[in-house]
Amino acid sequence: MGVPPDEVRGRIALRFGERSLTYGELAGAAGALAARLRGAGRVAVWAAPELETAVAVTGVLLAGAAAVPLNPRSGEKELAHIVSDSAPALVLAAPGTELPGALDGLERLDVDASAPAAVPGRTASAGTVSDEDPALIVYTSGTTGPPKGAVLPRRALATTLDALADAWQWTADDVLVHGLPLFHVHGLVLGVLGPLRRGGGVRHLGRFSTEGVARELNAGATMLFGVPTMYHRIAEALPADPELAEALGRARLLVSGSAALPVHDHERIAAATGRRVIERYGMTETLMNTSVRADGEPRAGTVGVPLPGVELRLVEEDGTPITAYDGESVGEIQVRGPNLFTEYLNRPDATAAAFTADGFFRTGDMAVREPDGYVRIVGRKATDLIKSGGYKIGAGEIENALLEHPGVREAAVTGEPDADLGERIVAWIVPADPRAAPGAEELADHVARRLAPHKRPRLVRYLDALPRNDMGKIMKRALTDV
Ligand code: MCA
Ligand code: AMP
């Protein structure tokens, strides 16, 4: 983002609740911040759902530095890991924000969202920044161990947003409404940087509600981005809410992603509003890979076709590419293109394992391709990855946290189908003392405090012993069948 031309300076770029910034004001606030950040390297951003987060990330990018968005609900263990792994130069937060002890060692800079436009000549420019330089480091869970920092270069952000503009006919006339968190790709890259790159607007709801969606779509917003849980809640609310139905009926584009939207919810929304939700498929490491196009056929249960510039193939277990477009042959999705991340920070082992010899990224998602090229995701390779509310959560990470509770002798974590969340986290516990087993709420609080509230078990089941095979390995399939 440079200095906006006169015709866009007065246009609203960002709106969070009652507060908004025009492009001119954003250029001023982000420019002033960038002038203080030049040469900063990595900068942590306290990514609360508020105006300052958007200004902070814009300022970091303008300075040519890399932003590390922090979940403001992260627990102490998770936060300590992210800060020690990414070693940011400082942390940006809205004035008045109380930061947790895990950030004590970091210099803090308050974001002034109303800083006046920089004086000519003092406008920060990214200088000699290259497209390959990191723009964001986004932490994402794996099956085991703590989250890994996916390093996203500037070109990946630009490429993915321009590919989506092509697929969605996304322009400066669009105004997006969303209520997604700002510490993941969906809410931050697509939801904030997307509208800014197009010169359009974004209205953030602070937190998702069907009332907020209805209000904004009825007041000029043109697009809605959400995770399936949000569309599920919309589908549930529609029968009793004609205003919501009218609002969705007006939208130019309703987009769902981060997990599969069940066909039942697709159909309920289409029946009540006359509009079809389209799905796009992405990943923190790859940004967006496929989408149903705005000018294409919306087909429930599919994630559309590869985006411009994305090479997508399905492979057998042994790596042999599947050539069939038959809607039946299942293979792992592998992708290659300028939308990909460069590495996991400080994890050359994990980075090497994630790519094939010819540079494709192994997504771990299993899919088929229909005769016309539409991709249909049918599952994922790792059973130890849970998608709950659109968040990816590693079973191992929660098991480790549970085992740190003195009342827990053994723990296993699985995902179970859940109509609202897609999957819910279930903890299977062997208590240290069966007569004094820790309660479900206590264990949920323990995980929420150490990791994050969305990683807490929604259900706890108690056992005398975990089912194990002859090798002593926990048989998780036996657990889900109990
Ligand atoms: C509950 N809470 C607790 C506890 N229990 N806090 C501390 N300790 C506890 N034991 C709090 C929560 O923090 C929250 O606070 C409130 O209670 C409700 O929590 P929860 O039940 O988790 O919320 P929910 O209503 O179930 O959330 C549903 C949701 C959410 C809004 C859909 O799951 C969500 O925002 N999902 C979006 C995930 C996402 O953006 N994924 C993108 C990553 P409070 O009430 O104050 O909030 S995937 C990605 O980026 C890729 C690239 C892609 O393809 O998109
Ligand atoms: P994350 O690692 O949190 O970025 O989540 C990426 C994962 O979300 C992908 O590997 C998929 O499993 C899943 N995902 C994203 N979009 C979709 C979609 N539209 N349908 C099904 N799964 C999706």
In a structure prediction context, what are the per-residue pLDDT tens digits for the chain, which is 482 residues long? 556 777 788 999 999 999 999 999 999 999 999 999 988 999 999 999 999 999 999 999 999 999 999 999 999 999 999 999 999 999 999 999 999 999 999 999 999 999 886 655 445 555 689 999 999 999 999 888 899 999 999 999 999 999 999 999 999 999 999 999 999 999 999 999 999 999 999 999 999 999 999 999 999 999 999 999 999 999 999 999 999 999 999 999 999 999 999 999 999 999 999 999 999 999 999 999 999 999 999 999 999 999 999 999 999 999 999 999 999 999 999 999 999 999 999 999 999 999 999 999 999 999 999 999 999 999 999 989 999 999 999 999 999 999 999 999 999 999 999 999 999 999 999 999 999 999 999 999 999 999 999 999 999 999 999 999 998 899 998 997 55
Q: Is 287 in the pocket of ligand 2 (CB under 6 A)?
A: no
Cβ–ligand 1 contact at 189 (below 6 Å) = no
* Ligand 2 near 365 CB (within 6 A): yes
Q: Which atom of ligand 1 is nearest to the CA of 445?
A: 10
Rounded to whole angstroms, how far apart are CA atoms 462 and 468?
A: 16
pLDDT value of residue 7: 78
Q: Are 289 and 333 spatial neighbours (Cβ–Cβ below 8 Å)?
A: yes
Q: What pLDDT does residue 187 have?
A: 98
Domains of the chain with CATH codes: 385-479 (3.30.300.30)
The pLDDT value given to residue 98: 97
Ligand closest to Cα of 186 equals 1
How many angstroms is it from 283 CA to the middle of ligand 2?
A: 6
Give yes or no for residue 73 CB within 6 A of ligand 1. Answer: yes
Neighbours of 332 (CB within 10 A): 20
Query: By the 8 A CB rule, do 322 and 316 touch?
Result: yes
Query: What does the pLDDT read at residue 480?
Result: 76
- Give DSSP secondary structure letters for 382-393: -TTEEEETTEEE
In the 8-state DSSP scheme, what is residue 355?
B
For residue 290, the ligand closest to its alpha carbon is 2
Residue type, position 29, single letter: A
Nearest-CA residue for ligand 1 atom 23 is 454
* Strand boundaries in 341-382, DSSP class E: 343-344, 361-369, 375-380
User: Percentage helix, strand, coil, to 5, in the chain?
Assistant: 30, 30, 40
Nearest to 57 by CA among 17, 15, 11, 92: 92
